[in-house]
Structure 1
Amino acid sequence: MNSAGMVGDASRRVMVPPAPMAFVECERRGGRCSRGGAIHKAIRLRAGIAPSSLAPTPSRPTINTEECLCFSSAGTPSPGRNPMMGQEVISQVRAAMEHDPDINLHTFPIELQLREGALVLAGEVEHISAKRKALRIAREHSGDQPVLDRLLLRTSRHRDGDGLRGAVLDSLTQEPVFHGCALLDEHLPPPDDGSDWIRVTVPQGSSTVRLDGQVNSLSHRRLAEVLTWWTAGTADVDNRLHVQPAEQDTDDELSDAIQLVLDKDPSFDGEQIHVRTRNQEVTLEGAVRSEVNRRLAAQDCWYVAGVHAVHNRLEVRP
Structure 2
Amino acid sequence: MQSGDTVLKQVMAVFERESHLKLHNHPIHMSFDGSALIVAGEVPDIASKKRLLQLTRMHSEGQRLVDQLRVTVNPPVGDGELRTRIGERLAQAAEFRNCVICARVKGQLEVLRGTMDQAGNDGSGVVEVTVEDGVATLTGQVISLSHRRLASVTAWWVGGCRDVVNLLEVVAVEADGDDEISEALHLVLEADLRVRAEQITINVKNHRITLAGWVASEAERRQAEQDAWCLDAIGGVVNRIQVRA
Instruction: Please indicate the TM-score interval, normalised by the length of the shorter structure.
Output: 0.7 to 0.9
Deviation of 1:178 (Å): 0.6
SS at structure 1 position matched to 2:176: coil
Residues 1-318 of structure 1: matches in 2 within 5 Å? 83-85=1-3, 87-101=5-19, 103-186=21-104, 187-188=109-110, 190-191=116-117, 193-194=120-121, 195-203=124-132, 206-317=133-244
Change (3 A) 1:274 1:89: closer
Q: For residues 76 and 40 of structure 2, what CA distance do their matches in structure 1 show?
A: 19
For 2:242 and 2:12, how far apart are their aligned partners in 1?
32
Kept in 2: contact 1:160–1:202 (CA 8 A) = no
Letter in 1 for 2:178: D
Q: 1-side partners of 2:93 and 2:231: how far apart?
A: 17
100 and 312 in structure 1: CA distance in 2 versus 1, 3 angstrom threshold:
closer
Shift of 1:314: 1.9
**Equivalent-residue separation in structure 2 for 1:301 and 1:100 (angstroms):** 17
Per-residue deviation, residues 11-47 of structure 1 (Å, max 9, x unmatched): xxxxxxxxxxxxxxxxxxxxxxxxxxxxxxxxxxxxx
Are 1:211 and 1:240, in contact at CA under 8 Å, matched by a contact in 2? Answer: yes
Structure 2: unaligned runs, 5 residues or longer: none
Seen in structure 2, the aligned counterparts of structure 1 residues 157 and 259 have a Cα distance that, compared at 3 Å, is: farther
SS at match of 2:18: coil
Q: 1:85, CA displacement in angstroms?
A: 4.6
Distance 1:273 1:88, change over 3 A: closer
Larger Cα-atom Rg: 1
TM-score (norm 1): 0.69
Give distance in 1, aligned partners of 2:74 and 2:9: 31
Cα distance in structure 2, aligned partners of 1:97 and 1:286? 24
Structure 1 letter corresponding to 2:222: R
More strand by percentage: 2
Partner amino acid for 1:200? V
Q: Check 1:243–1:95 CA distance in 2 against 1; reply closer, same or farther (3 A cut).
A: same
Q: What is the distance in 2 between the residues matched to 1:96 and 1:182?
A: 43
Per the alignment, do residues 159 and 87 of structure 1 end up closer, same or farther by CA in structure 2, a change over 3 Å counting?
closer
Partner of 1:62: none
Unaligned runs of 5+ in 1: 1-82
Deviation, 1:171, is 0.7
Q: CA deviation at 1:98?
A: 4.0
DSSP-derived class of the 2:120 partner: coil
Q: Tell me how far 1:284 sits from its aligned partner.
A: 1.4
Q: CA deviation at 1:96?
A: 3.2
Shift of 1:103: 4.7
Question: When the two structures are superposed, what TM-score results if normalisation uses the length of structure 2?
Answer: 0.88
8 Å CA contact retained: 1:103, 1:134: no
Work out the CA distance in 2 between the residues paired with 1:317 and 1:94. 31
CA contact (8 A) 2:15 2:52 kept: yes
Q: Distance in 1 between matches of 2:191 and 2:150?
A: 10
